Chains A and B, each alone.
Chain A
Amino acid sequence: MSKKTFLGMRPCTWVFVLLVTLTFVTFYIGEQQMGGLTIALFVLGIAMIKGHLVGAYFMGLGGLRGLWRWPVSVWLIIPGSLITTAFILAR
């Protein structure tokens, strides 16, 4: 984990704050019972971003070179594509 700080906080702390913020956005959408393809894909997009942040910054894959940089990102694409396809076909 990098010890460089931005505004006095480590990168992992910024990522933590971002993850919490995005979680509240998802929760708000759920509480408003917003539905439809656009909203569903927006929520899924938020989940993909959160997953990428966990893989890159928490798991430490973001700083790697070579193939091991990508497994989490590739994994996110697989369920992401399946879910997107299913929600589009469900319209």
Chain B
Amino acid sequence: MTQAVDAINLNTVNRYPPGDLAIWIFILAELSVFAAFFGAYAFTRMNNVALFNEFQLHLDREAALINTLALITSSYFVVRAVAAIKDGHHLICSRWLVAAMGMGAVFLVVKVGEYAHHFGQGINLSTNTFYMFYLSLTVFHFMHVIMGMVILAAVAIKAKKGGYNATEHTGVETGASYWHMVDLVWLILFPLVYVMR
């Protein structure tokens, strides 16, 4: 019997991604939408190279750098939070998650600053094709960052209350997976919109 159980465990361990399987279906759906968005950007640029190259220079690359570093750092903090809960340290897990949310907040503040600058110059979705894509893509991603922070907050609160432990921490892994997806999308968005020309 024990051998049979071990065999089952051997076949199931490391076969499925961390967290709830449903979040992965959701993540794949979200990634598909962003892939379509990226493709649309690239193929529209194909017929408007001069326009895209000109207005790309008007973007704040330093702000984008800060935002990229903020998201990478927050993702790293989330990895540490998952490691902490696997070791049974629910308070440490909660603190790493709060730190990750802090970096998420940095992203939101910097992005709002960028938007304020653009809107202050009268730039909107109708200004030109480049800004239509820039604003649509980044605002869509911005909404995902907010959503991710709400998820991280819920997980952090539950972790602080001892709702997760070394053996039951699916919720932490589920939230972490969503947050990494938000980071992953930005890692493509940043070079595509701010750098590639």
Contact = CB atoms under 8 A, between A and B. Distances in A.
A and B: partners? yes
Contact of B57 (A33, A47, A61): A33
B38 interface: yes
B184 A51 contact: yes
A7 interface: no
B143 interface: no
Given A51-B188, A54-B184, A23 B18 contact: no
Interface residues of B, number: 51
Nearest to A50: B187
B45 A54 contact: no
Contacts of B18: 59-60
Interface string A1-28: 1010000001011001001100110110
Contacts of A75: 28, 31-32, 35
Contacts of B61: 27, 30-31
Contacts of A13: 76
Contact of B39 (A12, A19, A63, A79): A79
A45 B28 CA distance: 21
A9 to B, nearest CB: 12
A38 B64 CA distance: 22
Contacts of A63: 14
